[in-house]
Amino acid sequence: MLNRMQELKIRRRHRLRQKEISAIAERLDAILGTSTFTADDPVQMAEIYGLEQTVYILGDEIVAIEIEGQPFLYLKGIMKYGASKRFVTVDMGAVRFVTNGADIMGPGIVDGDRTVRAGDLVWVRDERYGKPLAIGRSAVDGSEFGSKKPGKFIISLFHIGDRLWKLSEELSGK
C-alpha cells in the first residue's frame, strides 16, 4: 500500500489518436454540457503513479481524469472549458471545508443540477463566483440538492490543492 504523502509521478505518457480524442471529448461534452478539446488538439494520456489514476493532459495541464473507467473533467479542465451540467453549488461557509477535502453535507448545498442521480460524478462550485472547488460522487439524487437535509450528499474525490492539483501545477510550471 502506498503512503498517502508519497510523491505522485507521471508514467506511460503517450499521445492519443484523433479517434480516441474525439470519443473522449464526446463523452465529456455529453456528461458536462461542455465543448472540450477537438481531434486536432495534442491530448496525451498518462498514468499517475501514487494514485493509480489515468489522466488526460493537454499541453502541460491535466484537464481530465478517468474515474472508474469514466472520463470526467478535472478541476483545471472545468476552469478551462466550463461546464453546465453535473454541478453542485455550496454556500460560502462550506468553501474552506470543501477545499480541504471534506465531504459535502446537505446543509451546505444551496443548488445543483436536478438531473444528477445517486452515484453520478459531480463537480462542486462556490455560490459567489461559480468556481470549481472539488469533484465528488453524489450520494443522493439532484432533486435533494438545496433541501438542507442533514447527512453526506457528496463524497469528495479531488479538490483544489490536493496532490493531483499540485502535480498539475508542477507540470505547467505555475
Residue pair 48/74 in contact by the 8 Å Cβ criterion: no
Question: How, if at all, do strands 61-67 and 53-58 pair?
Answer: antiparallel
- pLDDT at site 174: 64
Q: What is the pLDDT of residues 132-156, one digit of tens each?
A: 999 999 999 999 999 999 999 999 9
- pLDDT at site 34: 94
HSE at residue 102, side-chain half, CA atoms within 13 A, is: 15
- pLDDT at site 6: 63
- pLDDT at site 60: 87
Residue 42 one-letter amino acid? P
- pLDDT at site 89: 97
- For the chain, residues with pLDDT lower than 70 are 1-6, 174
Among the listed residues 139, 103, 115, 152, the one whose alpha carbon sits nearest the alpha carbon of residue 33: 115
- pLDDT at site 9: 85
> Hey, what's the cell of 125?
462550485
pTM score, whole prediction: 0.91
